[in-house]
Structure 1
Amino acid sequence: MDKRLALILSEVFRLKEKEINIALTKADVGSWDSLKQMDLVLTLEREYNILLTIPDILRMVSVAGIVDVLREKGVALED
């Protein structure tokens, strides 16, 4: 799991970094609501200097989905 992304996710969703894993989904995180989704989008855009589209945002309902979108945007992530 990419350390920078794990830190971002832990801060946005108020989770411990060790709780963040590739299988984590929106359904697993009680705080992952529409407002936190937008917080995540803005944070990712700022941190990685990317622009996320509506289709990108709709796919980001799991850590795996977030990783896929970021990689498609050219973000290099650690495995």
Structure 2
Amino acid sequence: MAAREPLEHIITFCGQCNCGCPELFIDNAADEERRVVITDDFRARIQMSLEQLHVLVSDVKEGALDKLFTAEAVS
């Protein structure tokens, strides 16, 4: 079995430009609580566990950020 890359690319958010879009990676060499890596346009990064990512995605799906976008649409 081949060794997995330490930083495994999962998805690029946007990807329609060359501006350094946010990306999500799995760091196979990191401790469980820092396994998920999200980078922003400036290559800054945050790290979290898969469990934390699951909670974040669930909250967003349930509408936790809807009012942010509604308020922005009104502006």
Tell me which structure has the larger Cα radius of gyration.
Answer: 2
TM over 0.5: no
Greater helix percent: which structure?
1
Under a length normalisation based on structure 1, what TM-score does the superposition of the two structures give?
0.28
